[in-house]
Homo-oligomer: A and B are copies of this chain.
Amino acid sequence: MDKAKVRLFVEGRLGVGAAVTLNDRQAHYITTVMRLGQRAHIRLFNAENGEWLGRIDDAGRGHCLVTIEAQCRPARAEPGPALVFAPVKKDAIDFIVIKATELGAAALLPVWTRFTAVQRLNLERLRANAIEAAEQCGRLSVPVIAEPAPLTALIAGWGSGPALFVFDRDRGSPLKAVLPAAAEQAPPSPGLLIGPEGGLAPEELDALEALPFVTTVAMGPRTLRADTAALAALACWQAFAGDW
């Protein structure tokens, strides 16, 4: 593996000469998984400062100090859709966060809906998954993960915000009828809303369909699990209206 193939997300300011102390997970990854030591090069990045080449100055059990040497990529905006999703069980939600990060979601907005069976959400775990996925897929940014909110509160706060596409098995227009038109209007970063296992309740769908910024979209003849639907919606958006 190329010595500078390892990419790690860091929150602190990055610039030539900066000394960066990696966190425990990253230090473990560098020393134990990748077996890198002093003088090896890695890349560090964040959305504000871009991506930088750094040299390991000191590494050992649980600690790793890196000095920044040069910039590899400047900072740039990474717009993308916001995925609005009902929390699902652990494996499926890990999957949603990882895949949504790879597929370029800019934000992940968990919502409580009538049929949401899961009742708690470990935001720290979701954020750790998003960071690792961003490190591996080449993004500069990590998607923002919001505190979960009731669907009604999210909608009330959406205001005159961007378009919101609501994916449902039984209602709405086919994706191929909706996306080309949406792509021409080039909305900055729409919301893509996926319900829980069991779908949105009819009254939730009714309320959503009454809103001027909502378009309901159908996803074919089979019953998709919530995580499959989330990723399918994101992939289709990126392919037809996004950055692919």
Q: Is the CB of A223 within 8 A of B175?
A: no
Q: Mark A199-234, 1 if CB is under 8 A from B, else 0.
A: 000000000000000000011111111001001100
Q: Which of the listed residues A102, A219, A228, A238 has the most CB atoms from chain B within 10 Å of its own CB?
A: A228
Name the interface residues of A138-180: CB closer than 8 Å to any CB of B. Answer: 138-139, 174-176, 179
Chain B residue at minimum C-beta to C-beta distance from A220: B244
Kindly identify which residue among B175, B231, B238, B239 contacts A231, using a CB–CB cutoff of 8 Å.
Answer: B231
Q: Which of the listed residues A225, A235, A239, A240 has the most CB atoms from chain B within 10 Å of its own CB?
A: A239
For A232, the chain B residues whose CB sits under 8 A away are 103, 231-232, 235, 238-239
In the complex, what distance in Å separates the CA atom of A183 from the CA atom of B175? 14
Chain B residue at minimum C-beta to C-beta distance from A133: B225
User: In the complex, how many residues of chain A place their beta carbon closer than 8 angstroms to a beta carbon of chain B?
Assistant: 33
A235/B231 contact (C-beta < 8 A), A95-B95, A138-B222 known: yes
Chain B residue at minimum C-beta to C-beta distance from A234: B232
Kindly identify which residue among B175, B228, B244 contacts A239, using a CB–CB cutoff of 8 Å.
Answer: B175
Chain B residue at minimum C-beta to C-beta distance from A219: B244
Kindly identify which residue among B138, B218, B225, B244 contacts A102, using a CB–CB cutoff of 8 Å.
Answer: B225
Binding site for B on A (CB under 8 A): 95, 99, 102-104, 136-139, 174-176, 179, 183, 218-225, 228, 231-232, 235-236, 238-240, 242-244
